[in-house]
């Protein structure tokens, strides 16, 4: 038995399912999770001292590689001043100013502790602002584990086969309307059938949580127009895409201005941080400026702010990071496609910049239905074949890769080679 196996057995007796977040349990691919001891740059090390090339990077945050020195230094420097004050700090002002300067649509911003908190707060504010109750989300989009979002959700909820969770009340579910991603006509119909009842429309502007799915040309523009026309608050959930697809996220890359934006992952440099922000008139609804309550003992935590500030300053000052992230994504996609062609496998690759999924289906993947046509058992075999070759992927077909700039050209070649061998092994 490996040390990871032993720890997993131990964990299952005291932690539900042995993990603190469901996808980590490897249920979708079989086997047991690796217990991680440390990570540095492009590598992660398990308790059995095995080294893997990192393609998850904590599900996104470690975009500059693990234990990136400026972030590490900022955390070390901050620790000497104590860890939490529950009072305003200079760093929070600096953080808010930096986010406002980087993310095009954000005029005011509130810090929270996770992406889930950010999306929960954003829809509350949208409801308070419009005086309406219903929201529209897309099938397969994941917005954290808030009740309103566990309706046709992606990511872990999709992987575990429980798109709707027990414990979410029927009343909550009734206020969440869903449409297929990339289907403007379906959104239009929902709006027509619920006149003046829809507070917000929330989406991942590029989806990562059913695997990587891109918005079709005109989709984001069409949503913007519909929301403006019907006075619906358009929320871009940029927890995954923010500071990854461009310094200003997907909204900058596609040139579309949402009313509110939710952020997480990269914004904390690996610490537990989220944020939501947007139009000043909407954000002024938030307590104590306005009547919509939202709070947090550890919100704006000084250690987390220090890590996040170091991360965002670096990204803001080094635009070449984004050129390199796009280059890495393109190299991987080209290499993977060459292997698929060589092996005569008709799989679909969706990629934009450093977001990337190789779907084991011959269908073009544009929404939840087409994503679900993948051969999931085959992905499980492929996943373990990659692990055996020292490549650490997300343990689910329905996730995007999250590469970091620490990935060298030599490592990219190793990943492409491992992918080709693993595709062959999985097909057997």
Q: Please identify every residue annotated as catalytic.
A: 142, 237, 265
CB 282 within 8 A of CB 263: no
Task: Assign residue 274 a region (left: φ > 0; alpha: ψ between -120 and 50; beta: otherwise).
Answer: beta
Q: Does 41 bind ligand PLP (CB under 6 A)?
A: no
Nearer Cβ to ligand PLP (206/386): 206
Residue 210's CB is within 10 A of a number of other CB atoms, namely: 32
Contact flag: residue 175 with ligand PLP (CB under 6 A): no
**Shortest distance (Å) from residue 237 CB to ligand PLP:** 5
144 binds ligand PLP (CB under 6 A): yes
Of 91 and 137, the one with the shorter C-beta distance to ligand PLP is 137
As to burial, measured by CB atoms within 10 angstroms (0-12 exposed, 13-18 middle, 19+ buried), residue 70 is: middle
**Footprint of ligand PLP on residues 274-293 (CB under 6 A)?**
274
Q: Which residue has the tokens 């990204």?
A: 315
The distance of closest approach from Cβ of residue 352 to ligand PLP in the complex, given in angstroms and rounded to an integer, is: 15
Measured from the CB atom, the residue of 18 and 208 that comes closer to ligand PLP is: 208
Using CB under 6 A as the binding rule, whether residue 65 contacts ligand PLP is answered as no
Q: Examine residue 182 and tell whether it contacts ligand PLP (CB under 6 A).
A: no
DSSP 49-78: --EEEESSTTTTT-TT-BT-HHHHHHHHHH
Residue 407: φ, ψ to 5°:
-75, 115
Alpha carbons 357 and 208: distance in angstroms, whole number: 9
Q: What is the 3-state secondary structure (H, E, C) of 301-339?
A: CHHHHHHHHHHHHHHHHCCHHHHHHHHHHHHHHHHHHHH
Q: Rule CB under 6 A: is residue 178 a binding residue for ligand PLP? A: no
**Binding region for ligand PLP (CB under 6 A) out of 32-40, 42-50, 109-117, 351-359:** 109-117
Cα–Cα distance between 40 and 167 in angstroms, integer? 39
Q: Measured from the CB atom, is 187 or 203 closer to ligand PLP? A: 203
Residue number with CB closer to ligand PLP (143 or 384):
143
The nearer residue to ligand PLP, 175 or 399, going by C-beta atoms, is 399
Nearest CA to 186 among 148, 157, 226? 226
- 239: contact with ligand PLP by CB under 6 A: yes
Residue 240 near ligand PLP by CB under 6 A: yes
Identify the residue among 4, 57, 105, 116 touching ligand PLP (CB under 6 A).
116
315-334 footprint of ligand PLP as x/- string (CB under 6 A): --------------------
Q: For residue 377, what is the enclosing H or E element? A: helix 376-388
Between 33 and 115, name the residue whose CB sits nearer to ligand PLP: 115
Distance CA 307, CA 401 (A): 23
Distance in angstroms (rounded) separating the CA atoms of residues 304 and 264? 12
Among 46, 237, 367, 399, binds ligand PLP (CB under 6 A): 237
Kindly provide the b/e burial profile for residues 346-357, where b requires at least 16 CB atoms within 10 angstroms of the residue's own CB.
Answer: ebbbbbbbbbbb
Nearest residue to ligand PLP, using CB?
Answer: 115
Decide: is 114 part of the binding site for ligand PLP (CB under 6 A). Answer: yes
251 within 8 A of 257, measured Cβ to Cβ: yes
Closest CA to 352 of 155, 257, 220: 220
Q: Which of 129, 142, 356, 359 binds ligand PLP (CB under 6 A)?
A: 142
Instruction: Compute the least distance from the CB of residue 244 to ligand PLP, in Å.
Output: 11
248 binds ligand PLP (CB under 6 A): no
Contact set with ligand PLP (CB under 6 A): 59, 114-116, 119, 142-144, 155, 204, 208-209, 237, 239-240, 264, 274
């Amino acid at each position: 038995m490996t040390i990871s196996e032993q720890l997993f057995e131990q964990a299952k007796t005291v932690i539900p399912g042995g993990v603190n977040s469901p996808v980590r349990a490897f249920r979708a691919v079989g086997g047991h999770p690796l217990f991680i001891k440390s990570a540095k740059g492009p590598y992660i090390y398990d308790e059995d001292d095995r080294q893997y090339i990192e393609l998850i990077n904590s599900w996104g945050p470690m975009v500059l590689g693990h234990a990136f020195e400026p972030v590490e230094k900022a955390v070390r420097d901050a620790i000497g001043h104590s860890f939490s004050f529950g009072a305003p700090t200079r760093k929070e002002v600096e953080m808010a100013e930096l986010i406002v300067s980087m993310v095009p649509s954000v005029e005011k911003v509130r810090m929270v502790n996770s992406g889930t908190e950010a999306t929960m707060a954003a829809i509350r504010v949208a409801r308070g602002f419009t005086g309406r109750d219903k929201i529209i989300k897309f099938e397969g989009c994941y917005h954290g584990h808030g009740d309103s979002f566990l309706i046709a959700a992606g990511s872990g909820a999709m992987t575990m086969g429980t798109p709707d969770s027990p414990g979410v009340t029927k009343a909550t579910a009734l206020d969440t309307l869903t449409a297929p991603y990339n289907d403007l006509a379906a959104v239009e119909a929902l709006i027509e059938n619920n006149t003046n009842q829809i507070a917000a429309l929330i989406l991942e502007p590029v989806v990562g949580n059913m695997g990587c799915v891109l918005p079709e040309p005109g989709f984001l523009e069409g949503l913007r127009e519909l929301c403006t026309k019907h006075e619906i608050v358009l929320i871009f959930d940029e927890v995954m895409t923010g500071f990854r697809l461009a310094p200003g996220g997907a909204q900058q890359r596609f040139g579309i201005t949402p009313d509110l934006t939710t952020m997480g992952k990269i914004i904390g440099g690996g610490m537990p941080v989220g944020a939501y922000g947007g139009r000043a008139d909407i954000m002024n609804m938030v307590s104590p400026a306005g009547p919509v309550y939202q709070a947090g003992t550890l919100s704006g935590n000084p250690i987390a702010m220090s890590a996040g500030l170091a991360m965002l300053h670096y990204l803001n000052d080094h635009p070449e990071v984004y050129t390199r992230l796009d280059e890495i994504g393109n190299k991987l996609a080209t290499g993977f496609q060459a292997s698929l062609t060589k092996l005569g496998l008709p799989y679909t690759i969706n990629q934009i910049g450093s977001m990337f999924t190789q779907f084991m289906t011959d269908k073009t993947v544009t929404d939840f239905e087409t994503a679900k046509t993948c051969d999931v058992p085959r992905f499980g075999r492929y996943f373990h074949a990659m692990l055996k070759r020292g490549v650490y992927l997300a343990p689910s077909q329905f996730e995007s890769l999250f590469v970091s700039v620490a990935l060298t050209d030599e490592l990219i070649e190793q990943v492409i080679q491992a992918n080709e061998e693993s595709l062959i092994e999985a097909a057997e």
